Structure 1
Amino acid sequence: MTLPTRINTNVRSMKEIVGGGYGKAWNYRGRYLAIKGGRGSKKSKTMALRWMKMLKQYESANLLVIRQVFKDLRDSAFADLEWAAHQLDVHNEWHFKVSPLEIVNVITGQKILFRGLDKPMSVTSITVTKGQLCWCWMEEAYQIHSEDAFDKIDMSIRGRTDVFKQIVVTLNPWNDKHWIKRRFFDVEDEDILAMTTTYQCNEFLDEADLKLFRWMKENRPRRYRIEGEGHWGISEGVIFDNWRVEEFNHQDIAKIPDIKSAFGIDFGYTADPTAFISALVDMKAKRLYIFDEHSEQGMLTSEIADMVKRKGYAKEMIVADGQEKRLIEELRRSGISRIVAARKLPHSIIAGIQFLQDFEIIVHPTCHEVQVEFENYVWKKDKVSDKQINEPIDEYNHLIDALRYAVEYLHVDIKKRREGRKLLY
């Protein structure tokens, strides 16, 4: 095998490739680097560029990349690192392997290893054959709910090395109660650099991207504060506190006697996403399991249909946003034959919320977006008194609305049975 010659990465200037806003982080060599940022702040892309640049600079260094769920790595950090290698003109120095998922330098033998905290045995003993494992990148670190899991990874970056040791955490700051805030952002420590970045330091955004942020600032100020300005979400007045994240096998849950399935869609397009959710409901135990989700902007009817079919739910009863009857009919003609419209009854939002509040809600770790919504869906405040009112904000509610539609038949039909009226489902 002929090894590639070293590539000169100075053909394009680093400033041209990376842009601005991250100079302090780029040059930091302390133990912990924590970066929270809103959407579009280029934090993941910038860190991917930084890792590829540093691996070339320190040839005895190896990198471990961590996410809560292993399967999410290939389309996120792995893809970003491959993109970064192309940007730096070093792609032919690396072998990008998907089975097992790893990136290997064909000249130096350095490795980038990938692990998920949902596979704990893969994280307990990590070794490299050449050089030292001295760096770790925890991408989407907000999804890591256990500080103990972080501590175990922290302890794996140990031993003598001729390269500085560092752990980088990058995250969206959805909730101010997260352990990462207390651990890295609420302290002053010479071994910690904690910083916040926003879309405003991303000179690679186009006018369409910026227009969405301007719309968000005007129409969704609370969301803009978190996703635009990178501030921590505030959980005061949160509507749902009856949920937790936990591993489970939905196929086993489906075998429970009298378990009910529930599938829902809330339609969106430009500013708001189309949201699809899958759940199982144990009415006797008052337990609800959320096991699948999809949230995406700009979806056409055909793309929604393809998504539902790809997930294997085309023959399930799906309850969708009742205001979009044309979309529902188009989906029905596209093969989603059992899709029905949710009923727009008086006070249906509050009734749906109250019904869901009676359950113990268990969210599968792979369902990230609904976790974000549960942590940021709060009651409105009166503008004069600043006191909470019995009305939810119209933000962070797309998957929750889909869930309300999905379970509607479980409580609306019960009421109709009591009244002796004919059911519509």
Structure 2
Amino acid sequence: MNIKLTNVIAPSFYEVHHAIRNKQYGHYWLKGGRGSTKSSFVSVEIIMGMMSDPDANAVILRKVKETLRESVYEQMLWAIDKLNVSHLWHASLNPLSITYKPTGQKIIFKGADKPKKVKSSKFRRGYAKFIWYEEVDEFHNMQEIRTINQSLVRGGPDIQVFYTYNPPQSQNNWVNTEVEQQKFRQDTLVHSSDYRSVPKEWLGEQFINDAEHLKKSNPKKYEHEYLGIVTGTGAEVFTNITQRRITDDEIARFDKIRRGLDFGFAADPLHYTENYYDKARGRLFIFVEIHQAGLKNKEAVDKIKMFNPMNDWITGDSAEPRTIAEFNDLGLRIRGAKKGPGSVEHGIKWLQDLNEIIIDPERCPNTAREFTQYEIERDINGNLKGTYPDKDNHSIDATRYSLEDEMRGKAKIKTFKGSL
């Protein structure tokens, strides 16, 4: 294989290439806009990786089986040609696979229309060292990916899983939310790329002209399609969210912890939150959650006391006076939130007006999910409705309750007259 890698790998991927060669990570989330060459990069890496390890095989997946042949199958054949090793590989259409002739190693292609039916593949030699999810945003959620990985990621060392995608427009899309959490895993690399680092001769003059035209005519669409930037749909309720690790040292300096509780039902989760409001800077730090359905009252109280050993006051949903009484009887100091007309809208608006809502996605994954995915619904004509949806908002409600004193203090200046 006498080929200069700089002729097939764009400069933005050089560091990723070295990380793969040095086995630094097990998971690579590669996001980018049109022409970023992320798929070309992965295909080259898989071919080179298999040819250098006689036990390495590859499984390449897309959500819909019918899309495999015209996309990833052709992409792998492109990589083989670019590396000048076509004489060493045999391509088959039935079944869809590519075989490395010297050893019998295989690249197999799978549709994941039914993730639970994607089974581990048996290879004549070795194991599935390389797994590639192309257009991972086509999958419905991360649970589908986990289900498949549990079947495929087994049987050998240094398994490397690639996830390639163009970021969906909405920050609330599951893959955009998931990647924010993946950044905190030590075994994971999240990488962004776009066409601007790719040699122009690879893309062609027409591609560059189209990109530049869109940049001038519709800058926001250009940012999303060509730069891979999450520009939003306009339906997001909270645009002031920051997901990052909140350190123990930071928490130790928080001088007034606020606590809120949204009660759950049989299918609905109970949600308990602890947060700190930095009034001077307009910042809210959320760093504790209990989010669980089916908890009995005694179990819930015991869990809450683990985070609140001094039994400081908690503000809960006043629509549940009997549950509040039972929690008090079990030794928890809890009072009902002072609700009133317009309290939900006012509370959400108050949270929207904060300079920043900082959520620790490791400590509070459900809080991060609900806040980032909370969107105003649309009617049948695609127009935004004028109300906030009352679903998947347990952490938001609990947060509103915990901060009612601050919200009511601000509201007295206006029209809410002490109501939350």
TM-score class, shorter-chain normalisation, is 0.5 to 0.7
Paired residues of 1:235 and 1:378 also in contact (CA < 8 A) = no
Please tell me whether residue 152 in structure 1 is matched to residue 147 in structure 2: yes
Give how far 1:48 is off: 0.9
Query: Which residue of the partner structure matches residue 380 of structure 2?
Result: 358
SS at match of 1:63: strand
Query: Which residue of the partner structure matches residue 176 of structure 2?
Result: 181
Query: Which residue of the partner structure matches residue 192 of structure 1?
Result: 188
* TM-score relative to the length of structure 1: 0.52
Cα distance change of structure 1 residues 153 and 19 upon mapping to structure 2, 3 Å threshold: same
Query: How much identity, in percent, do the aligned residues show?
Result: 25
Query: Which residue of the partner structure matches residue 262 of structure 1?
Result: none
Query: Which residue of the partner structure matches residue 212 of structure 1?
Result: 210
Question: How far apart, CA to CA, are the structure 2 residues paired with 1:183 and 1:125?
Answer: 24
Give how far 1:357 is off: 4.1
Question: How far apart, CA to CA, are the structure 1 residues paired with 2:16 and 2:151?
Answer: 23
Query: Which residue of the partner structure matches residue 161 of structure 2?
Result: 167
Query: Which residue of the partner structure matches residue 311 of structure 2?
Result: none
* TM-score relative to the length of structure 2: 0.53
Paired residues of 1:176 and 1:232 also in contact (CA < 8 A) = yes
Amino acid across the alignment from 1:103: I
What is the RMSD of the two structures over their aligned residues, measured on CA atoms? 2.3
**1:56-109 CA distances to partner (integer Å, 9 max, x unpaired)?**
111101111010101101011100100100111111211111111111111111
Equivalent runs, 1:242-391 vs 2, <5 Å: 357-358=379-380
Give how far 1:119 is off: 4.6
Question: How far apart, CA to CA, are the structure 2 residues paired with 1:168 and 1:213?
Answer: 27
Please tell me whether residue 35 in structure 1 is matched to residue 30 in structure 2: yes
Question: How far apart, CA to CA, are the structure 1 residues paired with 2:84 and 2:383?
Answer: 47
Question: How far apart, CA to CA, are the structure 2 residues paired with 1:159 and 1:43?
Answer: 25
Amino acid across the alignment from 1:165: I
The list of structure 1 runs, each at least 4 consecutive aligned residues, that deviate by more than 3 angstroms after superposition, is: 119-122, 157-160, 356-359
Equivalent runs, 1:114-125 vs 2, <5 Å: 114-120=109-115, 123-125=118-120
Paired residues of 1:33 and 1:168 also in contact (CA < 8 A) = yes
Amino acid across the alignment from 2:28: L
**1:99-156 CA distances to partner (integer Å, 9 max, x unpaired)?**
1111111111111111111154751342222101122100011111122210012212
Give how far 1:207 is off: 2.1
Paired residues of 2:141 and 2:175 also in contact (CA < 8 A) = no
| Unmatched runs of 5 consecutive residues or more in structure 1 | 1-8, 239-355, 360-376, 380-425
Paired residues of 1:236 and 1:378 also in contact (CA < 8 A) = no
Query: Which residue of the partner structure matches residue 226 of structure 2?
Result: 228
Paired residues of 2:32 and 2:166 also in contact (CA < 8 A) = yes
Amino acid across the alignment from 1:50: E
SS at match of 1:194: strand
**1:312-354 CA distances to partner (integer Å, 9 max, x unpaired)?**
xxxxxxxxxxxxxxxxxxxxxxxxxxxxxxxxxxxxxxxxxxx
Paired residues of 1:32 and 1:192 also in contact (CA < 8 A) = yes
Give how far 1:14 is off: 1.1
Amino acid across the alignment from 2:123: V
Query: Which residue of the partner structure matches residue 309 of structure 2?
Result: none
Give how far 1:197 is off: 0.4
Query: Which residue of the partner structure matches residue 301 of structure 1?
Result: none
Paired residues of 1:35 and 1:170 also in contact (CA < 8 A) = yes
Please tell me whether residue 108 in structure 1 is matched to residue 103 in structure 2: yes
SS at match of 1:113: strand
Paired residues of 1:38 and 1:172 also in contact (CA < 8 A) = yes
**1:354-378 CA distances to partner (integer Å, 9 max, x unpaired)?**
xx9438xxxxxxxxxxxxxxxxx88
Cα distance change of structure 1 residues 126 and 88 upon mapping to structure 2, 3 Å threshold: same
SS at match of 1:195: strand
Question: How far apart, CA to CA, are the structure 2 residues paired with 1:219 and 1:171?
Answer: 25
| Unmatched runs of 5 consecutive residues or more in structure 2 | 237-377, 385-420
Question: How far apart, CA to CA, are the structure 1 residues paired with 2:380 and 2:186?
Answer: 47
Moved more, 178-187 or 192-201: 178-187
Give how far 1:160 is off: 4.3
How many residue pairs end up in the alignment?
236
Compare CA radii of gyration and give the structure with the larger one.
Answer: 2
Paired residues of 2:128 and 2:152 also in contact (CA < 8 A) = yes
Cα distance change of structure 1 residues 215 and 20 upon mapping to structure 2, 3 Å threshold: same
